[in-house]
Amino acid sequence: MSGVFAARARSQGKKIRTRAGLMDAAAEAFARTGIEAASINAIAHAADVSNGTFYNHFRDKDEILAAVAFGIARDFAERIDEAMSDIEDSAQRVSFGTRQFIALATSEPTWGLALTRAVWALPELRREVETFARADLDRGVRDGTFRVEIDDLLVDLFMSMVLMAIYLRASGEANEDIGARVAEHQLRLLGVSPARARRASHCDWVPLSITGSSQ
Amino acid sequence: MSGVFAARARSQGKKIRTRAGLMDAAAEAFARTGIEAASINAIAHAADVSNGTFYNHFRDKDEILAAVAFGIARDFAERIDEAMSDIEDSAQRVSFGTRQFIALATSEPTWGLALTRAVWALPELRREVETFARADLDRGVRDGTFRVEIDDLLVDLFMSMVLMAIYLRASGEANEDIGARVAEHQLRLLGVSPARARRASHCDWVPLSITGSSQ
Amino acid sequence: MSGVFAARARSQGKKIRTRAGLMDAAAEAFARTGIEAASINAIAHAADVSNGTFYNHFRDKDEILAAVAFGIARDFAERIDEAMSDIEDSAQRVSFGTRQFIALATSEPTWGLALTRAVWALPELRREVETFARADLDRGVRDGTFRVEIDDLLVDLFMSMVLMAIYLRASGEANEDIGARVAEHQLRLLGVSPARARRASHCDWVPLSITGSSQ
Amino acid sequence: MSGVFAARARSQGKKIRTRAGLMDAAAEAFARTGIEAASINAIAHAADVSNGTFYNHFRDKDEILAAVAFGIARDFAERIDEAMSDIEDSAQRVSFGTRQFIALATSEPTWGLALTRAVWALPELRREVETFARADLDRGVRDGTFRVEIDDLLVDLFMSMVLMAIYLRASGEANEDIGARVAEHQLRLLGVSPARARRASHCDWVPLSITGSSQ
DNA sequence: CATGAATGAGCGTTCATTCAT
DNA sequence: GATGAATGAACGCTCATTCAT
């Protein structure tokens, strides 16, 4: 039952471990029942601590939500960033990012779903994640790969496609290749030719593997 | 103060009018506070009936949510369908639909927001709305306007863009022309040339009047 | 267990009876444990209703406190007022009022103690009760019985003596004649000669009898 | 920030200093929020120690309340006693005591308010304070200044007047001269002639300085 | 002694739901 | 069919108290 946060905190002090346990339990609850329906009592219970302990670590649900969501976002961003450090082609970078993001959300559905739920409750989170994606979009425009103007709206639409894909995958409505297909659509939206979009988004790749691997 | 459902039910029997009043109150509550936070007591109170009366018409919140959401979706679909009965060009039909949808959600925020909130709680609702949009997408493929294969995923992505736009508009992050800009992106995604996409999505139009509406 | 409020409400509708039951339970709890320590749960339980019912009648503890305290104060005032309608002498009126007040607080210790506790939490209550007492003080000054200027401070001190007496009586530190003795001290404070003070405050009298008697 | 108890304990061992710090923090909390609302956690935090430390010094809130209240009472008594060591006239002694007591409660509201709040929770405290006042009352009777029998009730009433005055002062309902006015009323209650009561209670005086005090 | 994380009973409050009228 | 008082489980949260460090 110990999740990713707990795994990271295994060698830390007790306070940090308890906190991580709460965050894992919260991520799980947010993913499974949604943010509103996840009660603090249930989170504490799932983390195997008493309800009062929750309040030694977080002021309220908003606070743990932010900690969980930004924690997940940062972790995803770091893992993806690192994995694509040697990719030069902008189209490949963007499609790789999308595919990895969706793959991560799939292989760790708890985190993936929690993230999609949180993104609507925390506008700053959306902007945080978008900032990360935007770097490669801007790069692609500079090197002539993309033929559109990158503005906030475009990035938001870009994001909405990824979120929808995660949702579809998590709800069992889509299968494994959805990442590649979404990436292909995104590239076309960015003005990449259909042929190149297809090529860049369906190339071989290695999905980031399991939990805690980046540590 | 009486909303759209009530207006429609004005000439009907009392039972139907009470039901419509509850639905209007519910739509308003869902839009304003979200689905979870809207209490049945508050809905009944806003509809000027006692809380017990609610249960003479709906088993629980899910039931009224479905009634309200599908009612709104059908209303939107009918109004938009009718308004574009004389548009032949597939690109224009699609962009017109997107723009009208976003405009309706904006000019009638009660219904627009209620719909976007419900769409994540009721997967069937999403499919219902998509079915409606899909007709024009298929038509555009048949007449050669769109150069992509229309599958479930594409329609979902199409939908996700509209939902993101409504969200941005409702949260004050976007201004009036977001509909046209989203439509343009959508057309490009469908394989329409940038020039034509721009033309088709920024042409003159008349936002649907608020006929018999909630205002 | 049914208290005074309930007795008064016996012939009323159910809602009023429930409300009265809660008020009796609250008065009892306030008297026994103090205002802060009296929990809403305990009040509801003592009134033999569920905790939720409390909130159908009162918004919070402050609201029921005010209802109880002003209800008791009005009841005391009315009963005393009526009982001394035929007393003409100002010194006798004042001493009679004090004695009856203390006697009431003693024969109905629940109400008496609740009142003394509430008076510190509700400044308006203190002023309300003092207004009632002040009429006779002013009257005594006008007819020459009292030789002091009646100002707010004097009335507050007058009140503090009664409150202390009720407290002493309720806590078992004083016996029955405390009312007469306090009244005597009060009259001397008002400038009445010791002899007359003694006479006016120790004359025969009939303590107001039992609960609900005024009905 | 360090209060009076801490000042007294400055040269003592660490244990005593910690204890004094807790008492100062408790006095402040009792005064500011009332006894019930002052949480042990908050007291410990204000005293800059961990909550667990509290229990090394006091069993529970009642215990620290008693320690604080009796400590303050003793301090007040000593300071007033000393200040009036050269006053011979009984009327002046009594009025001086009342005025100083009220003035202390006002100039050191932390202690003054804490004391008035504690007096209702700790009957022994009231008797302790009254014992101290009673000496001068008895003396006045012996030397013929007062013409009443001093019994427990009279002393209680005497006390109630002082407490009311402190309450009025602390709640902003009374101004500075309330001490003198209350003293005058008290003297009249004790049988002193109005003229002499006025003279004895309004004479010049020096409010006790805040020696080593909480300021 | 001091620490502070953990505990869990209990608080005030909300709310979906029932049912007698 | 409409009413609305009553219900009680569940919520978020506080706090006195314990105990391993």
Query: Strand F: which nucleotides have any atom within 7 A of a protein Cβ?
Result: 1-20
Q: Report pLDDT for B212.
A: 45
Cα separation, C126 vs C117, whole angstroms: 11
The yes-or-no verdict on residue C1 having pLDDT over 70 is no
CB-nearest to D160 from C163, C174, C189 is C163
pLDDT of chain B along its 215 residues, tens only? 468 999 999 889 889 999 999 999 999 999 999 999 999 999 999 999 999 999 999 999 999 999 999 999 999 999 999 999 999 999 999 999 999 999 999 988 888 889 999 999 999 999 999 999 999 999 999 999 999 999 999 999 999 999 999 999 999 999 999 999 999 999 999 999 999 999 999 988 888 765 544 43
Q: Report pLDDT for A211.
A: 55
Closest nucleotide over all strands to C50 (CA to C1'): F7
Best of C161, C166, C171, C184 to substitute, by most chain D Cβ atoms within 10 angstroms, is: C161
Q: Report pLDDT for D108.
A: 86
Phi and psi of B76, rounded to 5°?
Answer: -60, -50
Whether residue D34 lies within 8 A of chain C, CB to CB, comes out as yes
Q: Which residues of C touch D127 (CB under 8 A)?
A: none
C48 sits in the region (left: phi over 0; alpha: psi -120 to 50; else beta) called: left
For chain A, the residue count is 215
Q: Report pLDDT for B214.
A: 41
**CA B155, B156, B158: angle at the middle one, nearest 5?**
60
CB atoms inside a 10 Å sphere around CB B45: 15
Instruction: Say if residues C137 and D162 touch (Cβ distance below 8 Å).
Output: no
Running DSSP on this structure, what letter comes out for residue A47?
Answer: T
CB-nearest to D157 from C156, C171, C185 is C185
Task: Find the Å distance, CA of residue B52 to C1' of nucleotide F3.
Answer: 7
Using one digit for the tens of pLDDT, what is the confidence trace for A121-158? 999 999 999 999 999 999 999 999 999 999 999 999 99
The yes-or-no verdict on residue A213 having pLDDT over 60 is no
- Cβ-based burial of C142 (10 A; exposed 0-12, middle 13-18, buried ≥19): exposed
Residues close to nucleic acid strand F (C-beta < 7 A): A 39-42, 51-52, 55, 60-61; B 14-15, 18, 49-53, 55-57; C 14-15, 17-18, 49-53, 55-57; D 37-42, 51-52, 54-55, 60-61
Measuring CA to CA, which residue among A169, C188, D132, C58 is closest to residue A182?
A: A169
Q: Report pLDDT for B7.
A: 92
C116 sits in the region (left: phi over 0; alpha: psi -120 to 50; else beta) called: alpha
Record the tokens describing residue C75, joined without a space.
């009841």
Whether residue A154 lies within 8 A of chain B, CB to CB, comes out as yes
CATH for A64-201? 1.10.357.10
Burial C169-188 (b: 16+ CB within 10 A, else e): bbeeebeeebbbbbbbbbbb
Measuring CA to CA, which residue among B128, B144, B139, B125 is closest to residue B191?
A: B144
Band (pLDDT 50/70/90 cuts) for residue A210 is low
- Looking at every residue in chain D, the average pLDDT score rounds to 91
Best of D122, D146, D164 to substitute, by most chain C Cβ atoms within 10 angstroms, is: D164
Chain B residue with CA closest to A185: the answer is B189
Q: How many CB pairs under 8 A join C and D?
A: 64
CB-nearest to B160 from A152, A161, A171 is A161
Q: Report pLDDT for C125.
A: 96
Record the tokens describing residue D158, joined without a space.
């005497």
Q: Report pLDDT for C210.
A: 60
Residues 6+ apart with CB under 8 A from A28: A3, A46, A110, A114
Phi and psi of A171, rounded to 5°?
Answer: -90, 10
Cα separation, B17 vs B142, whole angstroms: 44
Band (pLDDT 50/70/90 cuts) for residue C18 is very high
Best of D124, D160, D182 to substitute, by most chain C Cβ atoms within 10 angstroms, is: D160
Domain chopping of chain A, boundaries: 4-58, 64-201
Whether residue C159 lies within 8 A of chain D, CB to CB, comes out as yes
Band (pLDDT 50/70/90 cuts) for residue C206 is confident
Measuring CA to CA, which residue among B36, D27, B128 is closest to residue A38?
A: B36
Q: Helices A178-189 and B152-170 meet at what angle, rounded to 10?
A: 60
Q: Look up tokens 């790789």; give the residue.
A: A96
**N- to C-terminal Cα separation, chain A:** 19
D4-58: CATH homologous superfamily?
Homeodomain-like (1.10.10.60)
Q: What is the amino acid identity at position B63?
A: E
Q: Which residues of D touch C36 (CB under 8 A)?
A: 34, 36-37
Measuring CA to CA, which residue among C38, C206, C14 is closest to residue C110?
A: C38
Task: Find the Å distance, CA of residue C156 to C1' of nucleotide F16.
Answer: 38
Q: Report pLDDT for C215.
A: 37
Q: What is the amino acid identity at position B60?
A: D
CA distances in angstroms from A139 to A77, A88, A160, A187, listed in the order given: 17, 10, 21, 14
Band (pLDDT 50/70/90 cuts) for residue D208 is confident
- Cβ-based burial of C202 (10 A; exposed 0-12, middle 13-18, buried ≥19): middle
Q: Report pLDDT for A79.
A: 92
Task: Find the Å distance, CA of residue A55 to C1' of nucleotide F15.
Answer: 12
More reliable by pLDDT, C12 or D215? C12
CB contact under 8 A, A156 and B164: yes
Chain A residue with CA closest to B181: the answer is A153
Q: Report pLDDT for D169.
A: 93
Q: Report pLDDT for A115.
A: 95
Using one digit for the tens of pLDDT, what is the confidence trace for C57-100? 999 999 999 999 999 999 999 999 999 999 999 999 999 999 99
Cα separation, D137 vs D156, whole angstroms: 12
Whether residue C123 lies within 8 A of chain D, CB to CB, comes out as yes
Q: Which of residues 21-80 of D touch strand E (CB under 7 A)?
A: 49-53, 55-57
Q: Report pLDDT for A214.
A: 40
Using one digit for the tens of pLDDT, what is the confidence trace for D125-136? 999 999 999 999
Band (pLDDT 50/70/90 cuts) for residue D214 is very low
Cα separation, C27 vs C40, whole angstroms: 12
Q: What is the amino acid identity at position C207?
A: P
Cα-Cα-Cα-Cα dihedral of D15, D18, D24, D28, to 10°?
-140
Query: Strand E: which nucleotides have any atom within 7 A of a protein Cβ?
Result: 1-20
Touching pair C, B by Cβ (3+ pairs < 8 Å): no
DSSP one-letter string for A2-48: --HHHHHHTTS-HHHHHHHHHHHHHHHHHHHH-TTT--HHHHHHHTT
Q: Helices D109-121 and D123-142 meet at what angle, rounded to 10?
A: 100
C72: helix, strand or coil: helix
CB contact under 8 A, D185 and C157: yes
DSSP one-letter string for D138-194: HHHHHTTS--S---HHHHHHHHHHHHHHHHHHHTTSS-TTHHHHHHHHHHHHTT--H
Whether residue C181 lies within 8 A of chain D, CB to CB, comes out as yes
Cα separation, C58 vs C39, whole angstroms: 13
CA distances in angstroms from C183 to C83, C89, C105, C173, D192, listed in the order given: 17, 14, 15, 18, 18
Q: Report pLDDT for D122.
A: 93
The yes-or-no verdict on residue A209 having pLDDT over 90 is no
Instruction: Say if residues B185 and A154 touch (Cβ distance below 8 Å).
Output: yes
The yes-or-no verdict on residue C23 having pLDDT over 90 is yes
Instruction: Say if residues A27 and A72 touch (Cβ distance below 8 Å).
Output: yes
Task: Find the Å distance, CA of residue C170 to C1' of nucleotide F15.
Answer: 31
Q: Report pLDDT for B195.
A: 96
CB contact under 8 A, D181 and C120: no
* Rg value, chain D, Cα: 18
- Cβ-based burial of C131 (10 A; exposed 0-12, middle 13-18, buried ≥19): exposed
Cα separation, C202 vs C184, whole angstroms: 8
Q: Which residues of C touch D36 (CB under 8 A)?
A: 34, 36-37
Measuring CA to CA, which residue among D160, D188, D195, D158 is closest to residue C187?
A: D188
